[in-house]
Amino acid sequence: MEPYTIDRSSNWRREAVEQWLFGLDLVSPAMRADIVTAWVSSWASSPYETLAGMPFTPDAPDYPLMSHVNDVTRAGIDLAHRAATDWGATVDPEVLVPILILHDLDKPLLYVRNGDTAGYSKLAEELPHGVVGAMMLKELGFAHSVVSTVATHATNAPFHGRGFEAYVLYYADLFAADHALMACGKVPFYRRRKS
């Protein structure tokens, strides 16, 4: 069975995704439509009835994925603005914004809820986080820079990309992830001891 299907139709899901996502007004109408289709496809292929039911991670299932995604987009846009103002970095919103909004696109397909806890789906034993999202983005026709950055963004990926967007995503994601972990009483990445 295919792990996901591309869904360009579900109008009620499109509306909910458009209302949820921060940053859609920063990209072109065509990019906005592709970003919404990507999230609608992940949601429609997942076991979740609502966006609010999707967990950020099995370690912190009470933090909603929908909050984390907007946390990362806002933090990433702030960091990119800082880098452009202070260091002369060139920011292309048509590359940065989809990477920020879509970096965790595959989580609804990889995590499953069991009552108050969450665990991993069968698909999570077949492909790593980031790679499934990248496959979906490739199928949807996103640029290689978006596909490759999402594919390699996970903290346990073998390496991260060299692009400016990969650098911004790394710090925005960890900053936001640590907030989510601390909000759930978990040890954040920045305080983990080396063993």
DSSP 3-state of 147? helix
CB of 19 to Fe ion, least distance (A): 20
Q: What H or E segment, with its residue span, contains residue 28?
A: none
**Of 32 and 103, which has the nearer Cβ to Fe ion?**
103
CB of 68 to Fe ion, least distance (A): 6
Between residue 142 and residue 181, which ones bind Fe ion under the rule CB under 5 A? 173
**Of 10 and 179, which has the nearer Cβ to Fe ion?**
179
CB of 173 to Fe ion, least distance (A): 4
**Of 10 and 59, which has the nearer Cβ to Fe ion?**
59
What is the spatial distance between Cα 176 and Cα 171, in angstroms, rounded to a whole number?
8
User: Among residues 164, 158, 178, which one has the least CA distance to residue 71?
Assistant: 178
Handedness of CA 97, 93, 154, 136 (dihedral sign): positive
User: Among residues 32, 22, 31, 39, which one has the least CA distance to residue 78?
Assistant: 22
**Count of residues near Fe ion by CB under 5 A:** 2
Between residue 7 and residue 66, which ones bind Fe ion under the rule CB under 5 A? none
CB of 172 to Fe ion, least distance (A): 9
- Spatial CB neighbours of 96, under 8 Å, sequence gap ≥ 6: 76, 77, 80, 164, 165, 168
Under the binding rule (CB under 5 A), the answer on residue 104 touching Fe ion is yes
What is the spatial distance between Cα 65 and Cα 72, in angstroms, rounded to a whole number?
11
Judged by CB under 5 A, which stretch of 5-13, 28-36, 84-92, 101-109 contacts Fe ion?
Answer: 101-109
**Of 16 and 134, which has the nearer Cβ to Fe ion?**
134
**Of 104 and 165, which has the nearer Cβ to Fe ion?**
104
| Cβ atoms within 10 Å of 106's Cβ, excluding its own | 29
CB of 61 to Fe ion, least distance (A): 15
Q: Could you list the residues that contact Fe ion (CB under 5 A)?
A: 104, 173
